[in-house]
Amino acid sequence: MGELPVEERLAEFFKQEKYRDLIARAVLSNRRSVPVDFGDLLVFDSEFANSLLESPDKGLPILNAALNEQVRIEFPDQTTRRYVARVRNLPETLSIRSIRAQHLRKLVSVDGIVVRASSVRPMLVRATYRCRYCGKLYSVERQRPPPRCESPRCADKRPSFEFLEEDSEYVDFQLIGLQEKPEELPPGQLPRTIEVSLTEDLVDTVAPGDRVTVCGVVRAISDAREQSAGPLRLRIEGISVETRGKEMESLAITPQEEREFLRMASQPGFYETLIESIAPSIQGHTHIKEAILLALVGSRQKVFPDGVRVRGDIHLLLVGDPGTAKSTLLLYAAQIAPRGVYTTGRGSTAAGLTAAVIREQGGGMVLEAGATVLADMGVCVVDEIDKMRPEDRVAMHEVMANQTVSIAKGGIVATLNARCSILAAANPELGRYDPYRPFNENVNLPVTLLSRFDLIFVLRDEPNPEMDRRISSHMLELHMHGRAPESKALPPETLKKYIAFAKRFTPVLSREAAEELQRFYLQMRSVYERTSTVAITARQLESLVRLAEARARALLRDVVTKEDAEVAIRLMKRSLSEVGIDVETGKPDIDVIMSGKPRSVREKLTLVIDTIRKLEQAHGYADDAALRQELEGKGLTKAEIDRILNRMISEGRIYSPKPGAYRVT
């Protein structure tokens, strides 16, 4: 095929049935882009394909001309419309940090996450000027007028041109920021970002948070504000943009692997193997590994006919003593998730977790996606969430409840998707977890945040001879041989693909599973009649449904069985037994998490306030000695009275008009 001129050879390329179909589809759907697979070009004409990589400025116009010639043959009425060949699927994909000066004016392909997108603006591609003396028109591919008029009448006159806006040609133009993917980042390195320019129908095809593959030409751009010949900025002139989707298409799962996964899921005992595969180097914590597995798999988001959305992602909080492997478990979860973002509370701000509004070089404001937006359809791990500043932690509320990020700053009002599971860890406020104090007093987290977690587990470091022997043997074996002894765990890459495959399933609650969950819910609600405490709320019932669906997903099933419901109930009972307990009475009380005050504490607070009010009505204030005497007569100890009075003063419920006196605010 090398004898024919390249234009004629490429005309034959677009006559293939595949590209005739693509051209017809583009014309009928009123699109101007026709995707061209580089692999097809390589098979058809390897000489031209290789020259396209090296000299795209020469090759792309030839390719576009051949495409437009074929369009005119197929559709004679399309004479004025110009079509563009969008080359994609290059043989090699570069990382953003590997782009160098040697790639200038070459065709490259890069992967990354869109972190910001500017507004769409018109860009002048062909300017029309008219001579003010003779009226001659000039059409130039630049914004500056010609140096002089070519007419003999204007030879001795000073050049003067008028710009004709209505006769000039414009295209839509947008700049996006492309950042390296977190999972591909070298250890200890900051993520690099490169600008990508999009034109015509490529604008507004991607949004912050999308994972994309960009094919384009590397350019060197000078900053208009810098007059000196300093270093230039690299920018990719986008030829094609492929969104890798919010799902896990980037993980290529072959039909053979799918069959193998279905075979594995049908084997008895495979669920235990899956649990063991979560951080196999850590001994014990089986129930926490199981909860992490279910959080990684998740359940489906539901949209009811009235438009109400119910999240399918499972939020998990681990609270525990130092050295109980909380951070290791969460870090493993971020690595094994098909899309995981890891951050810490100490190094995160509200803008870093959600989205920031920054000023671009042109003076406009653009959105830059934060951790939860980048983790959309994945997992966001927040270690040491208790170390965050309270004003920054508030940003998590909307993400956890509505799974969106709403921004109204700098003239930008936008809502971004943040459909991710939150896996968080916190340390006890006093260093070690005190089982004799309520959960909310052990953890420096507001109840508004705690109530949004589906499962909360407490990890306590208690000496136990048998457990200590097993853990020490396991750790020493790891250090000696570099692996866990006799482990049946799946390799990390296999587990990652398995979780991505499991997310394709959308299990539905069976009648038996629904009845089992309802029985447990009603049984826990009936505790109120005996103890006057609320053991469970409707929020926990929704969590049970999510957990049951996630277990069915983990085993690649389309129906949630009674067994799945029983596993969800077991995990919920474990969580409630560690957290939702009134430590003074030993009775289940979900208000420990929901309101921060169990019933026993609320009763004592009410007793103290009523007593202060009674003394205040009699004497104008409550005397400290008289108040303590009356409260001790009603069964409160001196330590309890001190604690309650200090707490009520700090909360602003009572105040001291003078030493030794109290009044209700």
Query: How confident is the model at residue 488, as a pLDDT?
Result: 72
53 and 115 share one domain: no
Query: How confident is the model at residue 2, as a pLDDT?
Result: 45
Within-domain flag for 593? no
Cβ proximity of 48 and 59 under 8 Å = yes
Q: What is the pLDDT of residues 247-289, one digit of tens each?
A: 444 456 777 887 888 888 788 888 888 888 887 777 677 888 8
Query: How confident is the model at residue 5, as a pLDDT?
Result: 66
Query: How confident is the model at residue 250, as a pLDDT?
Result: 46
The beta strand positions in 4-120, using DSSP E, are 33-37, 84-88, 107-117
Query: How confident is the model at residue 475, as a pLDDT?
Result: 64
386 and 436 share one domain: yes
- Note if the pTM is more than 0.85: no
Query: How confident is the model at residue 596, as a pLDDT?
Result: 45
177 and 152 share one domain: yes
Query: How confident is the model at residue 278, as a pLDDT?
Result: 82
Which residues of the chain, if any, have pLDDT below 50? 1-2, 226-228, 246-250, 529, 531-534, 581-598
Is residue 546 packed enough to be buried (19+ CB in 10 Å), middle (13-18) or exposed (0-12)? Answer: buried
Query: How confident is the model at residue 464, as a pLDDT?
Result: 60
- The whole domain housing 197 covers 96-243
Query: How confident is the model at residue 588, as a pLDDT?
Result: 47
Is residue 45 packed enough to be buried (19+ CB in 10 Å), middle (13-18) or exposed (0-12)? Answer: buried
Domain CATH number, residue 158? 2.40.50.140
CA distance 511 to 488: 34
Give the percent of the chain with pLDDT over 70: 81
Domain CATH number, residue 10? 3.30.1640.10
525 and 660 share one domain: no
Within-domain flag for 154? yes
Split into its structural domains, the chain has a count of 4
Query: How confident is the model at residue 81, as a pLDDT?
Result: 73
- One-letter identity of residue 243: T
Query: How confident is the model at residue 327, as a pLDDT?
Result: 77
Query: How confident is the model at residue 87, as a pLDDT?
Result: 85
Question: Helix-strand-coil percent breakdown of the chain, rounded to 5?
Answer: 40, 20, 35
117 and 208 share one domain: yes
Q: List helix spans (H) across 419-537.
A: 439-442, 447-450, 465-481, 492-502, 511-525, 527-531
CA distance 170 to 172: 7
78 and 108 share one domain: no
Query: How confident is the model at residue 297, as a pLDDT?
Result: 87
Query: How confident is the model at residue 350, as a pLDDT?
Result: 73
- Regarding beta strands 233-243 and 622-623, do their DSSP bridges make them parallel or antiparallel, or are they unpaired? unpaired
- Terminal alpha carbon distance of the chain: 93
CA distance 17 to 15: 6
Query: How confident is the model at residue 245, as a pLDDT?
Result: 53
Distance of CA 341 to the CA centre of its chain: 7
273 and 414 share one domain: yes
Within-domain flag for 586? no
